[in-house]
Amino acid sequence: MNRTMIAALVSVCLLPAGATAKTIEIETIPVIPAPETQSPAPAAGDLDVPGADETAVAAPQDLPQVLYSPAMLPKAVARMHAQLREAAVNGDLNRLRMVLESNEMPPTLSFGEIGDPIDFIRQSSGDGEGYEILAILADVLDAGFLHVDVGTPQEMFIWPYFARYPLQGLTPDQKVEMFRIITAGDFAEMQDFGAWTFYRLGIGPDGTLHYFVAGD
């Protein structure tokens, strides 16, 4: 029962007996609810977008191409690689001496002065005979390599590729490959230092061995 009917009934009930009720027209005024107050639309710069104020993640950097097959090496480089590897895997220091002496120039084996290169290798080896260094040489030469600084005087083929590869960008399989050459402790120290500091080897495009050295 709406309010108009209730008001009419109340008026009838209040009339004296025998009185004639007058019809009272009551105009119903509809109540229109006030429109809800809406907040002004935020400006584009005010939108609370998750991460909108954070630095955008940089796109992955272009990583150098890692090569593995010696068949991809120039003939002179492949020859030097094969001669070094043969001497290393056979534990033949005399053969290694012949390879080093046939080089166009004495390769860098240390950042300091050394005398006889084979004596230096023996002294640097944990076993005192040079075989530990030959084993490292073999592992380094069996690793993937890079062809860097192409077309410049510094052009070089470098083993292992970790020597010029972003260490923070290594995939799980690359880390396994790396740990065949160094220990986890070595890797932690290199991460702190920010660069590869273990043994690396560089051969120029003409087959010249430029260095087989460790350190920074």
- Is residue 62 pLDDT above 70, yes or no? yes
Nearest Cα to 64, choosing from 158, 177, 142? 158
**Residues near 66 by beta carbon (within 8 Å), at least 6 away in sequence:** 144, 145, 146, 161, 165
CA dihedral 190, 205, 88, 118 (to 10 degrees): -80
Contact 195, 203 (CB under 8 A): no
- Annotate 26-93 with three-state secondary structure: CCCCCCCCCCCCCCCCCCHHHCCCCCCCCCCCCCCCCCCCCECCHHHCCHHHHHHHHHHHHHHHCCCH
Q: What is the pTM of this model?
A: 0.71
pLDDT in tens, 133-187: 999 999 999 999 999 999 999 999 999 999 999 998 899 999 999 999 999 999 9
Q: Where are the domains of the chain?
A: 70-213
- Judged against a pLDDT cut of 80, whether residue 108 lies above it is answered with yes
Task: Assess whether the previous peptide bond of 64 is cis (omega < 30° from 0).
Answer: no
Residue 67, φ and ψ in degrees, nearest 5: -110, 155
- Residue 156's DSSP bridge partners are 148
Q: List CB contacts of 99: < 8 A, sequence separation 6 or more.
A: 80, 83, 84, 87, 209
pLDDT in tens, 4-56: 444 443 444 444 444 444 444 444 444 444 444 444 444 433 333 333 333 23
| Alpha helical stretches, state H, 109-183 | 117-124, 131-142, 172-178
Residue 117 pLDDT greater than 80, yes or no: yes
CA pair distance 168, 114, nearest whole angstrom: 34
Place of tokens 């273990």: 198
